[in-house]
C-alpha cells in the first residue's frame, strides 16, 4: 500500500507515538502497588501497541501482484529494449526489500515487546508464589 513511500517516514512516527503512549501509560499505572498488577497492565498495553504497530507494518507490505509474474515476458522475442529487461527485476527488488524490512521490524517488536513483558509477568507470578 505504501510501497512508494520511504519506510521510516511512515513507521518512524508510528513507533514514536507507540513509545510515548507506553511511557505515559507506565507513568499513569505506576500507582499500583502489586507487582503482578503492574506486570499484567504492562502486558495489556504492550499487546495493544504491538497490535497497532503490526497493523502499520501490514499496510506497508507490498501488494501481492507486485510479487507475481503477471506481465513478465515469456520469450526473449517479447523484450524490445534494455529498459524492459530491467523494469521487472527492479520492481521485484523493491518489493522484496520492503517485505524484508517489515519482517525484521515485526520480529523485533514481537521478541522485544511481547516476550520481555511475558517475562515480567512470569517473574511477578514467581515472586507471588514464593511469598
* 27-84 pLDDT tens trace: 887 777 788 888 888 889 999 999 999 999 998 888 766 555 556 666 777 777 777 7
* C-beta of residue 121 within 8 angstroms of C-beta of residue 40: yes
Cα-only R_g, the chain: 22
- Please name the residues in contact with 73: beta carbons below 8 A apart, sequence gap of 6 or more: 79, 84
> What was the pLDDT predicted at 71?
60
> What was the pLDDT predicted at 95?
80
All structural domains of the chain with their residue ranges: 7-130
Cell of 42: 504492562
Any idea which residue has 508464589 for its cell?
129
**The model's pTM:** 0.77
Answer with the residue of higher pLDDT: 69 or 122: 122
Average pLDDT score over the chain: 83
Rounded to an integer, the average pLDDT of 97-113 is: 91
Amino acid at each position: 500500500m505504501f510501497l512508494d513511500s520511504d519506510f521510516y517516514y511512515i513507521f518512524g512516527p508510528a513507533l514514536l507515538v507507540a513509545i510515548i503512549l507506553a511511557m505515559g501509560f507506565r507513568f499513569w499505572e505506576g500507582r499500583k502497588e502489586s507487582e503482578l498488577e503492574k506486570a499484567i497492565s504492562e502486558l495489556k498495553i504492550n499487546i495493544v501497541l504491538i497490535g497497532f504497530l503490526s497493523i502499520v507494518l501490514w499496510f506497508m507490505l507490498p501488494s501481492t501482484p507486485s510479487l507475481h509474474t503477471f506481465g513478465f515476458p515469456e520469450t526473449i522475442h517479447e523484450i524490445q529494449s534494455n529498459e524492459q529487461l530491467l523494469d521487472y527485476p527492479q520492481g521485484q527488488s523493491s518489493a522484496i526489500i520492503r517485505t524484508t524490512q517489515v519482517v525484521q521490524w515485526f520480529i523485533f517488536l514481537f521478541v522485544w515487546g511481547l516476550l520481555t513483558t511475558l517475562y515480567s509477568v512470569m517473574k511477578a507470578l514467581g515472586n507471588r508464589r514464593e511469598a
